[in-house]
Each structure stands twice: as structure tokens, then as C-alpha cells.
Amino acid sequence: MADPANPSQRPFLGFGLGLRTDHYETVLTERPAVDWFEILSENYMVPGGKPLHYLDRIREHYPMVMHGVSMSLGSTDPLHREYLQQLRQLAQRIEPAWISDHLCWTGVSGTNLHDLMPLPYTEEAIHHVVERINQMQDYLGRQILIENVSSYVTYIQSEMTEWEFLSIIAERADCLILLDINNIYVSGFNHEFDPYDYLNNVPVERVWQHHLAGHSNEGNYIVDTHDEPVIDPVWDLYAEAVRRFGSVSTMIERDDNIPEFAELFAELQRARSVHDSVLKESAA
Ligand SMILES: [Fe+2]
């Protein structure tokens, strides 16, 4: 286990992209200068077939991290043992730098909502989720990263802010954080909190990865669609994240309306350039 008091133990992979089917051939033949790829774990939990074929070949050339959407850490259903087993097998196959999932629930009583639902921010929920993260970490034999989700509902039962909830869970479960900068912006807009308050109250040493993404602004609320480029206020928030957290492995998430690889690569280069200029400005 990493020592959370020593952020220097945080590996910095550089700047990555989500590996998407549309780009398999481009990645293999052109070997773009992407530092690493994030894969959606569930896409490769199948025996054989095209996804695993490409995964193995691309893995030979790039570091990878695994990102899941199905662990449902907040649910009251028992942890899905078969899913965990498949996750562990995939991890043995590709040896990811780390494994992440979301601080959310995705269903209850066997019904899958196919959405990442927030939890009530209560002591009871903290206790419940910490216990489940412990089980998952014990099973996988490693620390996991939990990601803050974007959300559209709140609960009257909540006793604290989302960032307090996330930070307390990370400390008690001794897990790490995948801090999605766009999700902070989206939830801040939807629930009227200051995204900078969020950013400035998450423990520095636990943040090991950032996500950046685009969304759809519907006027009085934002839907986190991941189908557009990152907007300027999210880039500004990312710059602040670099000031606070330093060099954290960062990637662009695009899940719909997937453009040519070159377009995503250009967006990734913008992340690199924001990071580099913030560090230069801090050193001056
Ligand atoms: Fe994300």
C-alpha cells in the first residue's frame, strides 16, 4: 500500500486517452504519442473476440489503467463476486497501473439502472461504502481509485458536502481518488456549489488520476454527455487542479460522438500544455 503522507509515491503516467473501438487500428498502426490508455473494464470481460485481440496488441506498446462502471459500491445488494473475479482476471492479463470505479450505486434488488447514482452524504453511507471498498481492495490485493460522479439529484438526508463525503471515505478505506474535473463542474452547476471549494478540499496525496470531458448545457442544468470537447471553464478548473495537486495522470473521456483520433489527440495536447504552463508559472 502507498503511504498517503508521501505524495511522491504517486506515479505520474502523463497524458492519456480512453481506448475506443473506433481508434483501435489508428493506435496500432500509427502508435500516436499518447502516454497511456484507460480501458473500460466491462468491454473486455468477454472470452476471446476482437476487443481482447486488440487490447493485447495495444498493451504491448502502452501502459494502461482499468476503469469500471459496474461495481456499484454504494448499493445495498451484495458485492458481485463474479464481476470481481472477472475484474481480477482482466487485471492479471493486462497488469494495469491501477483500477478505478465510481463512488455511486447503479442499482438495487437486482435491478440495474444503467446510471451512476449519487449517495446520500451521511455517516451511515460512509460506513457502508468503506466496508465495501475494503472488501474490493482485499479481493483485488491492491488499492483502488474511486471517482466522483456528476449528479442531478440530492438527498434531504445529506449531512455534509460531497467533497467531505469523498475525502472521509478515501481516508477511512485507505483508497485513492480519481478526481473528475468535469464532474465537479457539472455537479457544481446543477447543485449550485463553487467547484473551487470542492477542488480545494480534497486531500492532495490521495488524488492519482484526473478525468476531463465535455458535456451538454441545457440552460438551467447540465447533462454529462461526454460527447463534446472540454469547455473553457473546465480547463480553468483543471489549471487550478494542477496548482493544487501537481502532476496527476490526466486523460480525456469521450464516450459519444467520437471524433477522429487526431482531434482527441489535439485536445490531449491542450491538457499537457495547461499542465506544463501552470508548473512553469509556479516554479517562476
Ligand atoms: Fe469521469
Under the banding of pLDDT at 50, 70 and 90, the label for residue 9 is confident
Measure 149 CA to ligand 1 centroid, in angstroms.
7
Q: Is pLDDT above 80 for 1?
A: no
pLDDT value of position 84: 97
pLDDT digit string, tens, across residues 24-45: 999 999 999 999 999 999 999 9
C-beta atoms surrounding 91 within 10 Å = 17
Instruction: Tell me the mean pLDDT in the region 249-274.
Output: 95
Measure 7 CA to ligand 1 centroid, in angstroms.
22
pLDDT digit string, tens, across residues 265-277: 999 999 999 999 9
pLDDT value of position 5: 46
pLDDT digit string, tens, across residues 116-174: 999 999 999 999 999 999 999 999 999 999 999 999 999 999 999 999 999 999 999 99
- Whole-model pTM: value is 0.95
pLDDT value of position 7: 62
Measure 182 CA to ligand 1 centroid, in angstroms.
7
pLDDT digit string, tens, across residues 55-93: 999 999 999 999 999 999 999 999 999 999 999 999 999
Measure 251 CA to ligand 1 centroid, in angstroms.
9
- Taking CA 265 as the corner, what is the angle to CA 263 and CA 266, rounded to the nearest 5 degrees? 65
Under the banding of pLDDT at 50, 70 and 90, the label for residue 111 is confident
Measure 37 CA to ligand 1 centroid, in angstroms.
14
Measure 40 CA to ligand 1 centroid, in angstroms.
11
pLDDT value of position 117: 92
Q: Is pLDDT above 90 for 223?
A: no
Measure 284 CA to ligand 1 centroid, in angstroms.
32
| Residue % of the chain over a pLDDT of 90 | 84
Under the banding of pLDDT at 50, 70 and 90, the label for residue 3 is low
